[in-house]
Amino acid sequence: MTHKWAMVIDLDRCTGCEACVVACHAENNIGTAGADQAARGRAKHWIRVERYWEGEYPNAKLRFQPVLCQQCDDAPCEPVCPTYASYHTPEGLNAQVYNRCIGTRFCANACPYTVRFLNFYNPEWDKPLNLQLNPDVSVRSVGIMEKCTFCVQRIRSAEIQAESEKRELKDGEFNPACVQTCPPKAMVFGDLNDPNSEVSRLARSGRSTKLLGELGTRPNVNYLQQESGKNNG
Amino acid sequence: MAKTAEQIRADLLRPLVRTSPAYWFAVAVAGSMVLAGVFAFSYQVYHGLGVWGLNWPVFWAFDITNFVFWIGISHAGTLISAILRLANASWRRPVTRCAEAITVFALSIGAIIPICHLGRPWLFFWLVPYPSERHIWPNFRSPLLWDFVAILTYLSGSSLFLLLPMIPDAGAARDLVKGWRKHLYSLMSLGWEGTPKQWHRLESAMHIMAIAIIPVAVSVHTIVSWDFAMTPVPGWHSTIFGPYFVVGAIFSGVAGLILAMALLRKFLHLEDYLEPIHFDHLGKLLLTFSLLWVYFTFAEHITAWYGNDVAEMNVLWATIRGPFAPLFWAMVFCNFIIPFPLLAIKRLRTITGTCIASCTIVIGMWLERFLIIVPTLETKFLPYSWGSYSPTWVEITLTVAGFGMMALLYLVFSKLVPMISMWELEAGVRKAPIYRRQAVHFEPQAATAKAGLAGAEPFATDVSR
């Protein structure tokens, strides 16, 4: 059975702790830009927690929204890449093939979610982070684009493991780093082609929406809208 | 034109053999601008694209502004020359060659910029569809690939269009000079002897090229606009972009042509050839395109305003009354409010008047491209991802180098080729339109004409081979 990987993020549960951001950096060998470069807009966060204030002080309410690559079915970043570096895999992932990327940055401009990042310099890590690189993930050099992969290295290793044991993948058997880390369990990852998976069940919920769904990009990340605090917010 | 063929040759071939100190000074200035650009680019390649002012989310800025600007400048030359040739407008004769040269040089600069702007410039050839060990074709769905193909087509077409009418002039120059120049002109003249058969072939080739180059030129800037219009991004995703860009391109291109003509007129002493009437005619063309540009800009923005889409409105307000408002209104001043009276009032449509208008238009059209690219990228959909942009010295140096390269190429060209097509002028003197067969009758005399060039060898008279 082919898989259709998807994510559900429950905005009611998200506390904005940013553990997902840290986990993603550690898992995916994302370089740290440093304070000066970050202030110039050179920080790379494959997942970020957007903060929005609603209402006026003293009745202001803070809302959090984790945003990562939405792994769109109709991804605007894919057709614009002249070298097929931005590529749609048979499992519906938006892959970024680093070796093919020549750095036109067209994909980043076409992406409505602004979740693609350029390596402005060769990546660096503050000590001792340089000693904890993940051997399963390639380090990206200067001049190429990178973005969230749904932790494709974990997907692939779980699939290989299941295949070697001649069994189907179980729901929740593995998770991307952000989902695994999320303390309030606001994020759920799984296979939409399995109607009994938790991600399928939650995606069918009445609270489920897509980010900028009106653009027709058909994202595979679903957001469960915030219900709490609606009356007093 | 009261001049005889002999005087024409003397005047136009003089710059090829006489070089003034002012020329070397101009070459030094333009050359150092280019060298500064080479240094800036090397610095960028060594350190990475981070030395530019680009950031998340503004991934294109000065680079693509310059790219669209130079491709735009390239749209006056060949297009106007082709239209005027087909219309057989006889005032075109002194204008065509300097116009066609602008196209070839501006297009070359425009084609280099996207290579320099890549994150990994040394891999630009991956855009070329060639059988490689990677077994991957380039992605033909990408507007960047359409760009690559369109610009390459236009560059080869307009180079041909520049070189073809140079053949008879190269033949004349070949018989005048010695040394390495003789080899160059022999090559460029392709064995030109001025036989009726050769004239006929040249005439047919020019006619075919003039017709073929017009749709190519229109398609090139349409495709450049599709780099933006093919993305679902506010301020870019617009059906008007194709024609809007073509109009803007011809607008800035005519302004560039007027400036180049004024400089040539002054420094090569071509006052008798590039006359006020030429600036008057081109000024009228510029006026038409100024009005067209205002119309398109108005239509573009008022449609966004009435649509009232949240994302579109954010970009619109950022452009016309937000942080970019000073640049936006400067653009409107430069492209319409200053040039309109200068070009519309006959008394002001002089050489000085058209030159002032052209200067402001070149600045205004550069701003227009910047304002299409940067406000949109700074103000995309999710407010959390909004950003701001300011350039670094590297981008500014590369921008300056673009202008230096244009000047340098033009200076070198003016030393190698007569900047006005001699044989076409001579055809005009004889009231024999070049697209009629009679044109062949004047050639033997033209080829044997003696030029009264002091210090230069007289033309060889042995052309009856």
CB of A144 within 8 A of CB of A105?
no
Query: How do residues B29-42 score in pLDDT, each as one tens digit?
Result: 999 999 999 999 99
Tell me what the pLDDT averaged over chain A comes to.
Answer: 92
Q: How confident is the model at residue A230 (pLDDT cuts 50, 70, 90)?
A: low
Indicate the residue of B57, B124, B232 with minimum beta-carbon distance to A102: B124
Query: How do residues B171-198 score in pLDDT, each as one tens digit?
Result: 888 877 778 888 888 888 898 888 899 9
- Residue to substitute from B46, B51, B52, B56, interface A, most A β-carbons within 10 A: B56
Q: How confident is the model at residue A51 (pLDDT cuts 50, 70, 90)?
A: very high
Place of tokens 């991934």: B59
Residue B454: the pLDDT is: 37
Chain A touched by B390 (CB under 8 Å): no
B456 has pLDDT over 90: no
CB of B369 within 8 A of CB of B69?
yes
Q: What is the mean pLDDT of residues B83-111?
A: 89
Question: Among A85-99, B309-323, B358-372, B441-455, which stretch is predicted with the lowest mean pLDDT?
Answer: B441-455
What residue spans define the domains of chain A?
5-224
The CB density around residue B43, as the number of other CB atoms within 10 Å, is 13
In the three-class reduction of DSSP (H, G, I as helix; E, B as strand; rest coil), residue A44 is classed as: coil
B437 has pLDDT over 70: no
Residue B433: the pLDDT is: 40
A76 has pLDDT over 60: yes
Give the gap in angstroms from C-alpha B385 to the nearest C-alpha of chain A.
Answer: 7
From the list B99, B263, B234, the residue with the least C-alpha distance to B165 is B99
Place of tokens 């610095």: B43
In the three-class reduction of DSSP (H, G, I as helix; E, B as strand; rest coil), residue A145 is classed as: strand
Contacts of A218 in chain B (CB under 8 A): none
Hey, which residues 203-242 in chain B have their CB within 8 Å of chain A?
Answer: 227, 230-233
Q: Looking at this protein, which amino acid is placed at residue B275?
A: E
Interchain pair A67, B59: CB under 8 A: no
CB of A96 within 8 A of CB of A145?
yes
Give the gap in angstroms from C-alpha A114 to the nearest C-alpha of chain B.
Answer: 7
Three-state SS string over B201-264 comes to HHHHHHHHHHHHHHHHHHHHHHHHHHHHHCCCCCCCCCCCHHHHHHHHHHHHHHHHHHHHHHHH
Q: How confident is the model at residue B430 (pLDDT cuts 50, 70, 90)?
A: low
Contacts of B139 in chain A (CB under 8 A): 79, 81-84
Residues in chain A: 233
A185 has pLDDT over 70: yes
Q: How confident is the model at residue B327 (pLDDT cuts 50, 70, 90)?
A: very high
Contacts of A83 in chain B (CB under 8 A): 126-127, 136, 138-139
Tell me what the pLDDT averaged over chain B comes to.
Answer: 87
Residue B66: the pLDDT is: 96
Report the percentage of chain B scoring pLDDT > 70: 91
Hey, which residues 190-219 in chain A have their CB within 8 Å of chain B?
Answer: 212, 215-217
Q: Beta strand A61-67 with A48-54: parallel, antiparallel or unpaired?
A: antiparallel
Contacts of A79 in chain B (CB under 8 A): 139, 141-142, 230
Q: How confident is the model at residue B445 (pLDDT cuts 50, 70, 90)?
A: very low
Structural fold of domain A5-224: Alpha-Beta Plaits (3.30.70)
Interchain pair A105, B230: CB under 8 A: no
Question: Among A75-84, A217-226, B339-348, B450-459, which stretch is predicted with the lowest mean pLDDT?
Answer: B450-459
Indicate the residue of B127, B231, B381 with minimum beta-carbon distance to A109: B231
Residue B16: the pLDDT is: 79
Hey, which residues 136-195 in chain A have their CB within 8 Å of chain B?
Answer: 142-145
The verdict on ipTM greater than 0.95 is: no
Strand partners, A53: A62
Indicate the residue of B49, B143, B385 with minimum beta-carbon distance to A143: B49
Residue B137: the pLDDT is: 86
Q: How confident is the model at residue B458 (pLDDT cuts 50, 70, 90)?
A: very low
